[in-house]
Amino acid sequence: MINAEALIRRKRDGGKLSEAEIAALVAGYTAGATPDYQLSAWLMAVYFRGLDAEETRALTRAMLHSGRVLKLPPGLPVADKHSTGGVGDKTSLVIAPLAACCDVRVPMISGRGLGHTGGTLDKLESIPGMRVRLSLGEFEAVLERLGCAMIGQTEEIAPADRRLYALRDVTATVESLPLITASILSKKLAEGLDALMLDVKLGDGAFLQAPEQAQTLAATMIRIGEEMGVKVEALLTDMEQPLGRAVGNALEVEECLETLEGGGPAELRELSLELTARMVALARSANAGAAAGAEARTAARAECERALASGAARERFIAMVEAQGAQPGCLEKPRRLPPARLQAEIAAPRAGYVRAARARALGTAAMLLGAGRRQVDDAIDPAAGLRLRAQPGDWVEAGASLCTLYYNQADRLPPARALAASAFELGDEAPAPRPLVWKRMAAAEFAAGGNGVPL
Ligand code: URA
């Protein structure tokens, strides 16, 4: 029997926990023996005091082994992508079927919305009938047949992360580098991967906003992931403004379908292609025991572009969601995604250039409209959210719409409207453009003494 109070106290006072103590804490919580209030206190102590590299590795391992680790039959490479979380960050829905079209298996285990950011599972569940809680057998069967499947943490796979993730969401303990590292790596390593592509967000809407923090997070995840036997690479990408135009679950699924149909916002298409091409090249190199070179990445990118243009990726996505219970034909046009009954516009108070559309305020506004949770057991409104009508760099006339809000409950509008309006900054000069991808980071560069390469 562990003494949770003593472990909380030691972390609170800046002390170090052993691997066995961390394992016992995680096991106790997962089994229901240690209550939420003690874990919440420990998480807050970690938030302030941090974990060192050994403790972070121990936490990752304990969370990984809280459930089973998938062991897929040998054959095609196995890979996944994971993002540290953002607003309108929906690339997973494009990447999984796209990589499967390139003969890379993608057993994607994702999370729910956290704070102001959306979650892949909540987006998928806005598709009528779609099930993200599959048994391991069902998951493996979809994967075997279609090369990709998308589920949440189960009682069998990474159950500790499922519970801790939900607890962090409502105890203001998300923005912690070691907790994010252990959360992401534990559920991703449980997939039995050859390669993991990380999308580490930086900027206003990212959990860790400063470039140095994002870089440290990427470096930590690469080091721990590679030590645990998986090839890991990261792109540091911009989250100052939402990715694409849609924020909110059904709205984002619609935007992903547009992207899979060859359209969609340019940034969403570009980031999805870049992450998939790198992930495919990394997975193939891991499988072949070689380094992923520029030529392999260029070839993978061309394959991805062909899979989008031919409609193969779109078909694969639809086959996957239907295999997971989605109503047949519900994603054909006219699509049967849930619509919102009510809409409101945020109008530009003056003419000018849009200088900012801050992701955090917009993500929080979408959450307040019903797209996310304020408390752990809040129900999501799949139709709620917003759509940007103007983005940084655009010129708008006074009174033009900056953004449309979608909602079903009238009392949710006032706070969301105020927050969404505060997200926009208008001025006389266009803002300097921000790169979509800031940097690429890989283990080989650390070995050579570098710290990632600017793109
Ligand atoms: N994504 C995760 O899976 N976990 C975190 O803690 C943050 C983002």
Q: Does residue 211 lie within any of the structural domains?
A: yes
Of ligand 1's atoms, which has the minimum distance to the CA of residue 110?
Answer: 3
| Span from the CA of 180 to the centroid of ligand 1 (angstroms) | 5
Number of Cβ atoms within 10 Å of the Cβ of 352: 18
Q: What is the pLDDT of residue 378?
A: 86
CATH of the domain at 103: 3.40.1030.10
Q: Are residues 418 and 440 in the same domain?
A: no
Q: Does residue 440 lie within any of the structural domains?
A: yes
- Rounded to 10 deg, the angle between the 413-423 and 359-366 helix axes is 170
CATH of the domain at 361: 3.90.1170.30
Tell me if 185 sits within 8 A of 221, measured CB to CB: yes
pLDDT in tens, the chain (455 residues): 789 999 999 999 999 999 999 999 999 999 999 999 999 999 999 999 999 999 999 999 999 999 999 989 999 999 999 999 999 999 999 999 999 999 999 999 998 887 888 899 999 999 999 999 999 899 999 999 999 999 988 888 889 998 998 899 889 998 899 999 999 999 999 999 999 999 999 999 998 888 898 999 999 999 999 999 999 999 999 999 999 999 999 999 999 999 999 999 999 999 999 999 999 999 999 988 777 788 999 999 999 999 999 999 999 999 999 999 999 999 999 999 999 999 999 999 999 999 999 999 999 999 999 999 877 678 999 999 999 999 999 999 999 999 999 999 999 999 999 999 999 999 999 999 999 999 999 987 665 555 544 43
pLDDT, one tens digit per residue, over 107-164 is: 999 988 878 888 999 999 999 999 999 998 999 999 999 999 999 888 888 899 989 9
Q: Are residues 124 and 253 in the same domain?
A: yes
Q: Does residue 73 lie within any of the structural domains?
A: no
Q: What is the DSSP letter of 410?
A: G
Tell me if 109 sits within 8 A of 124, measured CB to CB: no
Indicate if 439 belongs to the active site: no
Q: Does residue 226 lie within any of the structural domains?
A: yes
List, as one string, the DSSP characters of 322-378.
HHTTPPTTTTSSSP-PPPPSEEEEEE-SSSEEEEEE-HHHHHHHHIIIIIS-SSTTP
Q: Does residue 62 lie within any of the structural domains?
A: no
Q: Does residue 55 lie within any of the structural domains?
A: no
Q: Are residues 160 and 296 in the same domain?
A: yes
List, as one string, the DSSP characters of 107-147.
EEEE---BTTB--HHHHHTTSTT------HHHHHHHHHHHS
Q: Does residue 381 lie within any of the structural domains?
A: yes
Nearest CA, atom 6, ligand 1: 180
Domain limits for position 413:
342-427
Number of Cβ atoms within 10 Å of the Cβ of 440: 17
Indicate if 80 belongs to the active site: no
Q: Are residues 321 and 365 in the same domain?
A: no
- 385, with CB counted inside 10 A (0-12, 13-18, 19+), is buried
Q: Are residues 247 and 99 in the same domain?
A: yes
Q: What is the pLDDT of residue 453?
A: 43
Domain count across the chain: 3
CATH of the domain at 31: 1.20.970.10
Q: Are residues 268 and 362 in the same domain?
A: no
Q: What is the pLDDT of residue 455?
A: 34
Q: What is the pLDDT of residue 446?
A: 64
Q: What is the distance between the alpha carbons of residues 148 and 324, in angstroms, rounded to a whole number? A: 11
Q: Are residues 168 and 297 in the same domain?
A: yes
Q: Are residues 242 and 309 in the same domain?
A: yes
**Active-site pick, 57, 112, 123, 168:** 168
Nearest CA, atom 2, ligand 1: 184
Token look-up 């917009």 returns 362
Indicate if 82 belongs to the active site: yes
Q: Are residues 100 and 210 in the same domain?
A: yes
Q: Are residues 26 and 100 in the same domain?
A: no
- Rounded to 10 deg, the angle between the 312-323 and 136-146 helix axes is 160
| Span from the CA of 168 to the centroid of ligand 1 (angstroms) | 10
Contacting residues for 289 by C-beta, under 8 A, at least 6 apart? none
pTM of the model as a whole:
0.93
Q: Are residues 98 and 20 in the same domain?
A: no
Q: Does residue 337 lie within any of the structural domains?
A: no
β-strands 79-83, 195-202: how paired?
parallel
Indicate if 187 belongs to the active site: yes
Indicate if 183 belongs to the active site: yes
Q: What is the pLDDT of residue 454?
A: 40
Q: What is the distance between the alpha carbons of residues 211 and 86, in angstroms, rounded to a whole number? A: 15
Q: Are residues 280 and 138 in the same domain?
A: yes
| Span from the CA of 163 to the centroid of ligand 1 (angstroms) | 12
Q: Work out the mean pLDDT of the chain and round it to a whole number.
A: 94
Residues in the ligand 1 pocket, defined by CB under 6 Å:
84-85, 111, 114, 165, 179-180, 183-184
